[in-house]
Structure 1
Amino acid sequence: MAWLILVISGAMETAWAIALEKSEGFSKPMPTTIFVLTLVLSMAGLGYALKFIPVGTAYAVWVGIGAVGTAAVGMIWLGESSSAARIVCLSLVVAGVVGLKVFH
């Protein structure tokens, strides 16, 4: 259960990062509200997961999911570069996250 919560928390990290960008410096109320809500949910889930998963592993997995998710959203929906080099680098992050789970 802790791993599932951690994955969801990583997805919430992606959501708050995108909402933060869309809030335009907290000047837009809806993206700002989404940012705050998803930030709280992400931190709460990470906090829960830390009861069962070592901090180094949990934090690295959480950040990895958030980073890859945010980069993917940027490439797919926000028109950011999706070069082969970026995709290879993101694949390496995914491999690291999977490795942390496998060798936990």
Structure 2
Amino acid sequence: MLNNEKGFTLIEMMIVMLVISILLIITIPNVAKHNTNINNKGCEAYVKMVQAQVQAYEMDKNKVPTLQDLITEEYIKNDAKGCPNGKTVSIDSSGNVTAVVTP
């Protein structure tokens, strides 16, 4: 009497692993590309937020702030280190905010 056990054969399991591996090879580079894009969008949003706080500071104090002035007066949080993509925020003498790469 033969046992009629149902299950996957070794070949079927290897084919499934091959398909999963191909899907991973295709999706991982796309995820990495989108991660960079997300970090750049986050940096743009952070720069706009700091620019809005610079304008609020100018209206309150009638002078252009430095980044340290914004932190001291609690217009932005002290733990806000910069952009998610590694750039830091700088404020020029006319109050324009830009993200720059730090060496």
With structure 1 as the length reference, what TM-score do the two structures score? 0.34
Larger radius of gyration: 2
More helix by share: 1
Structure with more contact order per residue of length (Cα contacts < 8 Å, sep ≥ 6)? 1
Normalization by structure 2: what TM-score? 0.34
